[in-house]
Chains A and B, each alone.
Chain A
Amino acid sequence: MAEKKGSSENGWELKEIQKLIDLLIERDVAEFEMEKGGTRIRVRRAESRATTPMPAAPTIISPVIPLTIPTVASTQPGPAASGAVETAALPAAHPENAVSAPPAESAPAESPESLYIIKSPLVGTFYSSPSPNAEAFVKPGDAVRVGQVLCIIEAMKLMNEIESEASGEIVRIYVENGQPVEYGQSLFAIKPSLKR
């Protein structure tokens, strides 16, 4: 939705506005506001990937601010722009959050369609081995079968064994032993094998 104020005499030519819009699309910018020659222009794209996950600039901060949206924060693409939407990663608004791995780790480097991501079905603490001194259940490169125990998530003093939902090869482990995890958080990336 673009709002254009002012005419071409006061600072904005139609050609300039067109170029601006093209640039915004090319750079995947969600919103842009600028004042020139006494005229202010605000351009906002309707469906931009960068506007999706973070309410980086919710409009209701105080009762008297109407619909304008601050420009600075909104031009940075959020993690979703990197391709795979990590629904379980904690919002970037909590940088000092100790709970999850940094967002960059949570998005798989390989193209998402080729990997099966095992996500945590529980809130709790992730353990990679059955007991403190034992070997890890799995490590990257291991072949796994459906139903094979991949890890333990401890919740309220109960140890829950998490079973694999896919057969294939462990490509990536997103979390560390002893790390707190939330519901839906990525745990393992498995490259599925063609045969069962």
Chain B
Amino acid sequence: MFKKILIANRGEIALRVICACKELGIETVAVYSEADQHSLHVRFADEAICIGPARSAESYLNVASIISAAEITNAEAIHPGYGFLSESAHFADVCRTSQITFIGPTPEAMRLMGDKDSARKKMADLGIPVLPGSGVLQSQEEALEAASGIGYPVMVKAAAGGGGRGMRAVESAKELPRAVQAAQEEAKAAFGVPDVYLEKYVASPRHIEFQVLADEHGKVVHLGERECTIQRRHQKLVEESPSTQVDAELRRETGHRVVEALKQVGYTNAGTVEFIMDENRQLYFLEMNTRIQVEHPVTEMVTGFDLVKIQIQIAAGLPIDLPGETVNLRGHAIECRITAENPETFAPSAGKIIGFNAPGGTGVRLDTAAYAEAVVPPYYDSLIAKLVVHGANRDEAINRMRRALDMFIIEGISTSVPLHQKIMADADFRAGNFDTHYLLRFARNGTRALEL
């Protein structure tokens, strides 16, 4: 087992890794930018090294500084957290050359599964349904042929970017040529490249993802699914497990196929396989995240396992001590991502927290690096806390989340707590009746939330 681990991250996830290390008796090294001098992850690590100025590029993304910090502290392994360098195969390569263990998959696995295109091809080869799509369209004829193969409605998408630009939904062959042309013009204007491709259009998509763990001895398990459908501009706001749309049979079958595929790929450590679910509960592979995810606590609450500890144990060469291929999910867990943003305009709200009361009690977990008098810096993402609840069933979990949100006081900055309160009070959310467009409808209808 490692004697000392360096955490190449900040905020709540750095603290999360420090927690796992403390419980395993492993010494910790925190790295921090000048803006994070007073952070909790610096406070609670055994050692802390300043690696650069506030800008991420010069600090948390600075490979040389981080490796150097590991060298001067004799850290044997680096946990990259999520974001920053966690999915950088280059960083994993450098760790390998510097003889520091990267706590995550191999650079090869990261390259294969981290690239959306190659991952889709690989998964399709291994029999996992992939959202039908085309390559970059070279002609109108190709567009029409591909579209009829996929089946209408189809979405025209820009190859060089996203965010809704260069995108067009098409209902029939009649509209296709004009839509492709318009999308190409828009894509050229937005991204400089007119390349577009086609993808099956799912009108009412849901986001379902499967958590996997693989050790270095060939064992691969899945820990069930999480539903992360409540999103705004592709940023998740609420996650839960299990999903109301996944029954035991679908879970077992999908999980099995995912496990078999990752065995073929030779994947190791933690990862999440993301799917889009259409209106018929059909799952299509979207992409894979080759790291621990923000919403991992949700799975921890329904399985009882500490995923970060397991990551460390896997990286140390230990076999996973989990029965069989599937794990039982117990009760229901929900997570709300609390961000430092105005809950209506979503404008970021950096500044000093002058009042802070953390909710507690039965079945409540708070992962945060925030505290009273802490300054939320403007340089990094706005996530300040993950409020996670567990209940015997989904109703209890929702009631518990409402109670916990009511008792969560953060003063001095704006947060998304009021928005989460509205979501938890909403009848559609309670009924499990939502797709990825939920928040748009929600916002449009104003305070449509029904008190129960």
Assuming the contacts A59-B372, A125-B72, A180-B72, asked whether A87 and B34 have C-beta atoms less than 8 A apart, the reply is: yes
A124–B43 contact, CB under 8 A?
A: no
The yes or no answer to B419 lying at the interface (CB within 8 A) is no
The yes or no answer to B67 lying at the interface (CB within 8 A) is yes
Please indicate which of the listed interface residues A66, A69, A97, A182 has the most CB atoms of chain B within 10 Å of its own CB.
Answer: A182
Please indicate which of the listed interface residues B49, B51, B366, B374 has the most CB atoms of chain A within 10 Å of its own CB.
Answer: B49
A63–B374 contact, CB under 8 A?
A: no
A167 contact set on B, CB distance < 8 A: none
Closest chain B CB from A153 CB (angstroms): 9
B68–A155 contact, CB under 8 A?
A: yes
A156–B71 contact, CB under 8 A?
A: yes
9-residue interface stretch from A14-22, A50-58, A128-136, A143-151: A50-58
Assuming the contacts A67-B356, A155-B64, A156-B71, asked whether A58 and B371 have C-beta atoms less than 8 A apart, the reply is: yes
Assuming the contacts A58-B40, A183-B52, asked whether A156 and B368 have C-beta atoms less than 8 A apart, the reply is: no
B65–A63 contact, CB under 8 A?
A: no
* Residue total for B at the interface (Cβ-Cβ under 8 A): 41
A63–B42 contact, CB under 8 A?
A: no
The yes or no answer to A159 lying at the interface (CB within 8 A) is no
A182 contact set on B, CB distance < 8 A: 49-51, 69
Which of A58, A63, A87 is B364 in contact with, Cβ under 8 Å?
Answer: A63
B53 contact set on A, CB distance < 8 A: 183-184
CA distance A88 to B361 in the complex (A): 39
The yes or no answer to A93 lying at the interface (CB within 8 A) is yes
A58–B34 contact, CB under 8 A?
A: no
The yes or no answer to A138 lying at the interface (CB within 8 A) is no
Assuming the contacts A90-B48, A123-B65, A123-B68, asked whether A64 and B360 have C-beta atoms less than 8 A apart, the reply is: yes
CA distance A180 to B65 in the complex (A): 12
Assuming the contacts A59-B372, A60-B356, A123-B72, asked whether A99 and B52 have C-beta atoms less than 8 A apart, the reply is: no
CB nearest neighbor in A for B63: A156
The yes or no answer to B370 lying at the interface (CB within 8 A) is yes
Closest chain B CB from A175 CB (angstroms): 12
Closest chain A CB from B427 CB (angstroms): 30
Please indicate which of the listed interface residues A53, A94, A123 has the most CB atoms of chain B within 10 Å of its own CB.
Answer: A123
Closest chain B CB from A158 CB (angstroms): 8
Assuming the contacts A87-B34, A183-B65, asked whether A63 and B359 have C-beta atoms less than 8 A apart, the reply is: yes
Assuming the contacts A155-B68, A182-B49, asked whether A87 and B37 have C-beta atoms less than 8 A apart, the reply is: yes
* Residue total for A at the interface (Cβ-Cβ under 8 A): 34
Which of A64, A99, A124, A181 is B47 in contact with, Cβ under 8 Å?
Answer: A99
CB nearest neighbor in B for A55: B38
Find residues 371-385 in chain B having any chain A CB closer than 8 Å to their own CB: 371-374
CB nearest neighbor in A for B69: A123
CA distance A99 to B355 in the complex (A): 34
Closest chain A CB from B228 CB (angstroms): 25
CB nearest neighbor in A for B364: A63
A183–B51 contact, CB under 8 A?
A: yes
B372 contact set on A, CB distance < 8 A: 58-60, 67, 69
B326 contact set on A, CB distance < 8 A: none
Assuming the contacts A94-B48, A122-B65, A184-B50, asked whether A55 and B73 have C-beta atoms less than 8 A apart, the reply is: no
Find residues 72-97 in chain A having any chain B CB closer than 8 Å to their own CB: 87-88, 90-91, 93-94, 97
B48–A91 contact, CB under 8 A?
A: yes
The yes or no answer to A164 lying at the interface (CB within 8 A) is no
A63–B49 contact, CB under 8 A?
A: no
B37–A60 contact, CB under 8 A?
A: no
B69 contact set on A, CB distance < 8 A: 123, 182
B34 contact set on A, CB distance < 8 A: 87, 183-184
Closest chain B CB from A75 CB (angstroms): 16
Closest chain B CB from A120 CB (angstroms): 9
A155 contact set on B, CB distance < 8 A: 64-65, 68, 71
B50–A185 contact, CB under 8 A?
A: yes
B43–A55 contact, CB under 8 A?
A: yes
A125 contact set on B, CB distance < 8 A: 72
A180–B50 contact, CB under 8 A?
A: no
CA distance A55 to B353 in the complex (A): 13
A94–B68 contact, CB under 8 A?
A: no
CA distance A184 to B65 in the complex (A): 12
CA distance A183 to B371 in the complex (A): 26
B37–A58 contact, CB under 8 A?
A: no
Closest chain B CB from A108 CB (angstroms): 18
CB nearest neighbor in A for B368: A60
B73–A180 contact, CB under 8 A?
A: yes
A94–B47 contact, CB under 8 A?
A: yes
B73–A156 contact, CB under 8 A?
A: no
The 7 closest A-B pairs by CB, nearest first: A63-B360, A180-B72, A123-B68, A58-B371, A60-B371, A155-B68, A59-B372
What is the interface of chain B, defined by CB distance below 8 A to chain A? 34, 37-38, 40, 42-43, 45-53, 59, 64-69, 71-73, 98, 355-361, 364, 366, 368, 370-374
If A55-B43, A59-B356, A123-B68 are given as contacts, then 17 extra A-B residue pairs at C-beta distance below 8 Å, sorted by A number, are: A51-B373, A54-B38, A55-B38, A55-B40, A55-B374, A60-B358, A60-B368, A91-B37, A97-B48, A99-B47, A122-B68, A123-B69, A124-B68, A124-B71, A180-B73, A182-B50, A183-B49
Show 16 residue pairs from A and B whose CB-CB distance is below 8 angstroms, ordered by the A residue: A55-B373, A58-B374, A59-B371, A60-B358, A60-B372, A62-B360, A93-B43, A94-B45, A99-B47, A99-B49, A123-B49, A123-B68, A123-B69, A125-B72, A182-B51, A182-B69
